[in-house]
Amino acid sequence: MPVESARDLTSLTRQMRVDIIRMIEAAGSGHPGGSLSVIDLLAVLYGRVLKHDPANPGWQERDRLILSKGHACPALYCAMAYAGYFPRERLMTLRKLGSPLQGHPDRKRLPGIEFSSGSLGQGLSAGLGMALAAKLEGKPWRTYVILGDGELQEGQCWEAFMAAPKFGLDNLVAVVDFNNGQIDGPVSEVMPIEPLAEKLKAFGWSVQTIDGHDLDRIEACLRAAAAAEEGHPQAVIAKTIKGKGVSFMENNIAWHGSAPKKAEADRAVAEILGGR
Amino acid sequence: MAAKATREAFGEALVALGEKNPSIVALDADLSKSTMTAAFAKKFPKRHFDFGIAEQNMIGAAAGLALSGKIPFAASFACFLVGRLEPIRIAVAYNDSNVKLVGTHAGLGIGEDGTSQMGLEDVGALRSLPGMVILQPADAVETVQAVEWAAEHRGPVYLRLTRQKMEDVHAPDYKFEAGKADVLWTSEGASHFQATIFASGGPVPQALAAARDLRSRGFHARLVNCCSLAPFDSDAVARAAQDSERLVCVEDHNVVGALGSAVCEAAASRGLGVPVVRLGTRSFGESATAAELYEKYGLSADHIIEACLRPLG
């Protein structure tokens, strides 16, 4: 069912969480923690905010979205499947030989992917280039880049944060999925990035900080960012919970990059659906 | 025609292309006066973007521009550009984005600035990236055509250009062909050659001088110019192996990974059994004039002559 027609995005994101668990279980590997933290952001973007046409992924006037934290692609694939880019059944081919659903997003294998990502730190630069192209052409489409908080430890992110205000890219929106988790531990311990809002403001960005699981708040905030015209690029710091929706995965770094076994997946799914 | 650095010919060609094709944009990392995109920037200020001293972001932004229909030429010194291999690997090669990377001041030829500014491993790094076309023109005539070809070609291209001035070795009616080497000089009337010299970029004039000098000493050599390093013309190697006692490779790059390696790979994979002598660097460089460095690091005409004649041990 296309997200647009859903009365209740909350129940839809619940189903997407179930699919994330099931597809990673079927793949036998993948990244559930970051997928569950970012799914609400992606569901709102694909369902309520992006101007796009799933039947025509190459539509020139579409908004562009880059998942720079490419390891969370199970969430991206779910949002795309529910939006109508491909049949939901295909989700279960994740990471299998010949599948367009690669372990990290691959634009040449899956129409609708704007940028093949997964090597962290690169998505914002590519999004910046897309936003520059829109400005050059005088086109109204926008570019959204979703970054991880751990990813911001990559220096290239800060080169891009520095450059976007110089070029007046108010058509560029950076969304940080701030779940404070990375493979080696909490971001605040491995290599702190705070105070992030202050840093981005100092770099010349307009910054909003929100609860990244509050669907209405996400939508309002992204709509405000999308309406920006004052010459500043827009940053949204979305405070999220890694593993959100599955009690034993929440804030447990062990679930950054490991797949649930069947019994664990069954428990997770029961929990997600029980919260209906 | 007066000698011209290939980076100068590139700068002029880019302006001419910019007039014809509004999709062409240029990106720099604080070196536009050296990479010679400054003229493009002056003529088309809205289509030139200076990213400051931040090559990774420049390369990634070039990919984003390309994926949105622009034809970006992103320029810096060869070493600084290819030093950022990861964004080239992902944003350019893996994404198959239509980015034209332009590495200038290649090799020892940058001279006095010394080792940290010398790209001596750039071709080796890029040659392992699928789909990456690598072009190293030898003079202005070839550079203009290589730049025009790169703009027409849909896919990643790396242009490797010189700081030093290069005499024209091609006639004005020369036609560059990607994937093909061209015979620049042949010892006239010879059917058997002591050596076929494969040369690319900076030391092509030295190789030409060597081939001519060998003739005056009663030896026969042929000079093959290899602008297209990837794809590489392995047929040219096979042809040379039929009538040459040895192949001599000459390049301003480490002997590992670039022209010398490409010739060896072609010879070995076809079972040609012809000896290959590789001239190029085997260490880092140092500060001096380009001519002094070519002499010290074995790329002068005398060294090339010696490589064509010395007994093979």
CATH of the domain at B80: 3.40.50.970
Counting every residue written for chain B, the total comes to: 313
Going by C-alpha positions, the residue among B35, B30, B25, B232 that lies closest to residue B123 is B232
Answer yes or no: do B23 and B155 share one domain: yes
Q: Which of A104, A119, A125 to mutate to test the interface with B (most CBs of B within 10 A)?
A: A125
pLDDT at A230: 83
Of B46, B54, B65, the CB nearest to A129: B65
Residue A152 forms contact with B (CB below 8 Å):
no
Phi, psi of B48 (to 5 degrees): -120, 135
Of A126, A136, A162, the CB nearest to B91: A126
Answer yes or no: do B28 and B157 share one domain: yes
Residue A155 forms contact with B (CB below 8 Å):
yes
Residue A122 forms contact with B (CB below 8 Å):
yes
* Residue B300 pLDDT greater than 60, yes or no: yes
Per CB distance under 8 Å, which residues of B are interface residues toward A?
25, 46-47, 49, 51-52, 54, 56-57, 59-70, 72, 86-87, 89-91, 94-96
Answer yes or no: do B35 and B143 share one domain: yes
Question: What range defines the domain where residue B246 resides?
Answer: 182-309
- Domains in chain A, please, with CATH? 3-274 (3.40.50.970)
Give domain status of residue B173, yes or no.
Answer: no
Percent of chain B at pLDDT > 70 equals 100
Last residue of a domain, one of B133, B166, B199: B166
CB A176 within 8 A of CB A152: yes
3-state secondary structure of A155: helix
Digit-coded pLDDT (tens) for A142-151: 999 999 999 9
Tokens of residue B107, six digits:
């090799």
Give domain status of residue B278, yes or no.
Answer: yes
Last residue of a domain, one of B141, B166, B191: B166
Answer yes or no: do B190 and B249 share one domain: yes
Residue A203 forms contact with B (CB below 8 Å):
no
pLDDT at A227: 86
Going by C-alpha positions, the residue among B147, B117, B151 that lies closest to residue B135 is B147
- B61·A129 Cβ contact <8 A: yes
Going by C-alpha positions, the residue among B310, B197, B192 that lies closest to residue B247 is B197
pLDDT band for B298, please (50, 70, 90 cuts): very high
**Helix ranges (DSSP H) in A93-214:** 123-137, 155-166, 187-190, 196-202
Of A133, A134, A163, the CB nearest to B57: A163
- A167·B49 Cβ contact <8 A: yes
Split into its structural domains, chain B has a count of 2
- Tell me how close the Cα of B150 comes to any Cα of chain A, in angstroms: 20
pLDDT at A32: 97
Give domain status of residue B172, yes or no.
Answer: no
Answer yes or no: do B206 and B137 share one domain: no
- B69·A133 Cβ contact <8 A: yes
* Amino acid type, A275: G
The residue written with tokens 């959204």 in the block is A144
Residue of A nearest to B89 (CA): A119
Digit-coded pLDDT (tens) for B184-227: 999 999 999 999 999 999 999 999 999 999 999 999 999 999 99
Digit-coded pLDDT (tens) for A174-202: 999 999 999 999 999 999 999 999 999 99
Residue B175's Cβ-count burial label (10 Å; 0-12, 13-18, 19+) is: exposed
Last residue of a domain, one of B166, B197, B223: B166
Residue A119 forms contact with B (CB below 8 Å):
yes
Residue of B nearest to A134 (CA): B68
Answer yes or no: do B188 and B137 share one domain: no
Our answer to whether residue B19 is catalytic in this structure is no
Digit-coded pLDDT (tens) for A202-234: 999 999 999 999 999 999 999 999 888 788 999
Tokens of residue B271, six digits:
């079972």
Answer yes or no: do B11 and B65 share one domain: yes
Residue A110 forms contact with B (CB below 8 Å):
no
All residues at 6 or more sequence positions from B138 whose CB lies less than 8 Å from its CB, including other chains: B6, B166, B169, B170, B184, B199, B200, B201, B204, B225, B227
Of A122, A136, A155, the CB nearest to B91: A122
Give domain status of residue B176, yes or no.
Answer: no
CA A166 to chain centre: 25
**Helix ranges (DSSP H) in chain B:** 6-20, 32-35, 38-43, 55-67, 78-82, 85-87, 122-126, 140-152, 204-216, 234-243, 259-269, 290-296, 301-309
* Residue A8 pLDDT greater than 90, yes or no: no
Residue of B nearest to A165 (CA): B51
d(CA B211, CA B302): 10
Give domain status of residue B121, yes or no.
Answer: yes
d(CA A32, CA B276): 54
> CB pairs below 8 Å between A and B: how many?
99
CB A237 within 8 A of CB A197: yes
Give domain status of residue B177, yes or no.
Answer: no
Answer yes or no: do B150 and B209 share one domain: no
pLDDT band for B1, please (50, 70, 90 cuts): low
Which whole number is the average pLDDT over A93-104? 98
Q: Is the dihedral of CA B120, B125, B128, B129 positive or negative?
A: negative
List CB contacts (< 8 A) between B62 and chain A. 129
Answer yes or no: do B69 and B133 share one domain: yes
ipTM: 0.96
Give domain status of residue B83, yes or no.
Answer: yes
Indicate which residue of B55, B121, B142, B251 is catalytic: B55
Residue of B nearest to A142 (CA): B68
Answer yes or no: do B33 and B81 share one domain: yes
**Residue B213's CATH number:** 3.40.50.920
d(CA A99, CA A107): 13
pLDDT at B133: 98
Digit-coded pLDDT (tens) for A28-65: 999 999 999 999 999 999 999 999 999 999 999 999 99
Give domain status of residue B257, yes or no.
Answer: yes
Answer yes or no: do B274 and B302 share one domain: yes
Digit-coded pLDDT (tens) for B73-107: 999 999 999 999 999 999 999 999 999 999 999 99
DSSP B183: E
Residue of B nearest to A161 (CA): B57
Answer yes or no: do B186 and B94 share one domain: no
